[in-house]
Amino acid sequence: MAAIRRAAILKLASAAYEMKLDVMNGTVRQSEDGRWHIGGHDLTSFLERHQEEELVIVLGLLDDDRPVETRTCRTCGRDYTEMECPHCRANRIRLRGHA
């Protein structure tokens, strides 16, 4: 199940990136001067630039082994583990003429 959770987190990050939001991926570490980094990104600088602004920060541990909850779609009745029912999403896209 860890692979499904990892894929869902990366899909969420991909959606945020497509919306041109800041996405940081990597190992969290603190440098000798006390600055926090995520991968090659300076988290301290990011937070300083956005001081006094309202933010939403989503943190996801890629090695999280908790099981992903299976949900049942209220429209078609299928079970799914993603953010939305992939069958209904594909049909919405098809019916709206986007694919």
Q: For residue 38, which phi and psi values (nearest 5 degrees)? A: -120, 110
Q: Residue 58: which of 42, 73, 38 has the closest Cα?
A: 38
Q: Given this model, what pLDDT does residue 85 score?
A: 92
Task: State the pTM of this model.
Answer: 0.65
Q: What is the pLDDT of residue 38?
A: 95
Helix (H, G, I), strand (E, B) or coil at 6: helix
Sign of CA dihedral 39, 3, 59, 74: positive
Quick one: pLDDT at residue 99?
A: 56
16-72 per-position pLDDT tens digit = 999 999 999 999 999 999 999 999 999 999 999 999 999 999 888 888 778 788 999
Task: In whole angstroms, give the CA distance from residue 59 to residue 43.
Answer: 13
